[in-house]
């Protein structure tokens, strides 16, 4: 059985209240919920003690990135990817943050993560300090890949989804299409 608990935490110094599903994959009949729960549980079991994953352990802990910013941790990286991919083909608009009517790169990541209760700044350079840094070789679906003046969401298999340019809009590209500055894990 999947239980729900309310978890209050802070992301980017803004309060966030999340409803977190907890329980094991065997406790549910939904394949989608099972997959998300199993992914989150796998992340939790491979995480070290300084990381927090609010899944499978009925925990309401939150983690800190060392800058006083905490992470809610109740969504899975794959859920972020699945949500983000539905906007492929939508327009790029500089300064925008509408996933349907037009967004720029940081507005895209900000709006996608806002759907899951995470508050990210509307600036690609400011997003470089969100969450915690991981190496590209450790990148997981849902991580933010930061470039000079650009940001995208890692979807796995060496690819990102991002709001690219006014001519191409939101699209999927190789994660290494330009030099990576940092990879940030928002959801642990």
Residue 95 belongs to what domain range? 77-185
Look at residues 38, 53, 71 and tell me which one is the last residue of a structural domain.
Answer: 71
pLDDT of residue 6: 37
pLDDT of residue 62: 33
pTM over 0.85? The answer is no
- 53 CB burial (10 A radius; 0-12, 13-18, 19+): buried
104 in the same domain as 140: yes
Q: Is the pLDDT of residue 185 over 90?
A: yes
The CATH number that applies at residue 84 is 3.90.1720.10
Task: For 148-184, write each residue's pLDDT tens digit.
Answer: 999 999 999 999 999 999 999 999 999 999 999 999 9
pLDDT of residue 9: 35
**What does the radius of gyration of the chain's CA atoms come to, in whole angstroms?**
16
Is 8 in contact with 19 (CB distance < 8 Å)?
no
87 in the same domain as 37: no
Q: Is the pLDDT of residue 29 over 70?
A: no
Look at residues 71, 102, 123 and tell me which one is the last residue of a structural domain.
Answer: 71
DSSP 107: H
Task: For 46-91, write each residue's pLDDT tens digit.
Answer: 333 333 333 333 333 333 333 333 344 457 999 999 999 999 999 9
Q: What is the largest CA-CA distance in the chain?
A: 47
88 in the same domain as 25: no
Q: Is the pLDDT of residue 106 over 60?
A: yes
Number of structural domains, the chain? Answer: 2
Is 124 in contact with 151 (CB distance < 8 Å)?
yes
Task: For 108-121, write each residue's pLDDT tens digit.
Answer: 999 999 999 999 99
- Mean pLDDT of all residues belonging to the chain: 73
Look at residues 19, 40, 71 and tell me which one is the last residue of a structural domain.
Answer: 71
- Collapsing DSSP to helix, strand or coil, 46 comes out as helix
99 in the same domain as 171: yes
Give me the active site residues, please. Answer: 105, 150, 162
């Amino acid at each position: 059985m999947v239980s729900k608990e309310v978890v209050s935490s802070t992301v980017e110094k803004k309060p966030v209240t999340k409803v977190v599903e907890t329980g094991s994959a065997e406790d549910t009949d939904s394949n989608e919920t099972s997959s998300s729960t199993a992914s989150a549980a796998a992340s939790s079991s491979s995480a070290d003690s300084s990381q927090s994953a609010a899944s499978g352990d009925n925990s309401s802990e939150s983690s800190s990135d060392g800058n006083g910013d905490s992470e809610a941790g109740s969504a899975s990286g794959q859920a972020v990817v699945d949500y983000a991919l539905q906007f492929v083909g939508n327009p790029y608009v500089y300064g925008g943050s509408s996933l349907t009517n037009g967004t720029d790169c940081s507005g895209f990541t900000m709006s996608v993560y806002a759907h899951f209760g995470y508050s990210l700044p509307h600036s690609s350079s400011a997003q470089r300090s969100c969450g915690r840094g991981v190496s590209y070789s450790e990148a997981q679906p849902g991580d933010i890949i930061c470039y000079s003046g650009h940001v995208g969401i890692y979807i796995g298999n060496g690819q990102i989804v991002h709001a690219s340019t006014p001519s191409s809009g939101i699209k999927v590209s190789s994660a290494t299409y330009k030099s990576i500055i940092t990879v940030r894990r928002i959801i642990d």
